[in-house]
């Protein structure tokens, strides 16, 4: 997860550096990379479900992953609330 989060925070830094002057190509690239990070996180969680389930019963495994996801969503909400929206001259460009 550290490696994935490093990628996520690198994207945030790149976004912060370019948000006011971001080209269409840069915006599309940012979006694709951000979605790739989301997919990598989901795949990592999915990979560890069987391992956690060997140690915890089904309910505790579900609770563990619910808490993990909630904490992750809270961090993402804090992070995204500080990012400005990509600038453009209008929605119909």
Q: Is residue 64 part of a domain?
A: yes
Q: Is residue 91 part of a domain?
A: no
Give phi and psi for 88, each to the nearest 5.
-155, 165
Residue from 5, 3, 1 nearest 13 by CA = 5
Q: Is residue 92 part of a domain?
A: no
Q: Kindly state the average pLDDT of the residues 3-27.
A: 88
pLDDT-derived band at 13 (thresholds 50, 70, 90) equals confident
Q: Which domain holds residue 75?
A: 2-81
- Give pLDDT tens digits for 40-80: 999 999 999 999 999 999 999 999 999 999 999 998 898 88
Q: Is residue 93 part of a domain?
A: no
Q: Is residue 60 part of a domain?
A: yes
Q: Is residue 18 part of a domain?
A: yes
pTM for this model (two decimals) = 0.77
Q: Is residue 57 part of a domain?
A: yes
Q: Kindly state the average pLDDT of the residues 27-48.
A: 94
Q: Is residue 38 part of a domain?
A: yes
Which of 2-6, 19-23, 30-34, 41-45 has the least mean pLDDT? 19-23
SS3 string, the chain, reads CHHHHHHHHHHHHHHHHHCCCCCHHHHHHHHHHHHHHHHHHHHHHHHHHHHHHHHCCHHHHHHHHHHHHHHHHHHHHHHHHCCCCCCCCCCCC
Question: Number of structural domains, the chain?
Answer: 1
pLDDT at 31 over 80: yes
């Amino acid at each position: 997860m550290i490696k994935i989060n490093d990628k996520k925070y690198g994207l945030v830094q790149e976004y912060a550096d370019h948000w006011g002057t971001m080209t269409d190509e840069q915006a599309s690239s940012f979006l694709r990379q951000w979605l790739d990070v989301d997919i990598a996180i989901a795949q990592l969680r999915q990979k560890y479900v069987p391992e956690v389930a060997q140690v915890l019963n089904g309910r505790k495994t579900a609770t563990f992953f619910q808490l993990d996801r909630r904490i992750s969503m809270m961090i993402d909400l804090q992070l995204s609330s500080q990012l400005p929206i990509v600038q453009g001259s209008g929605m119909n460009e």
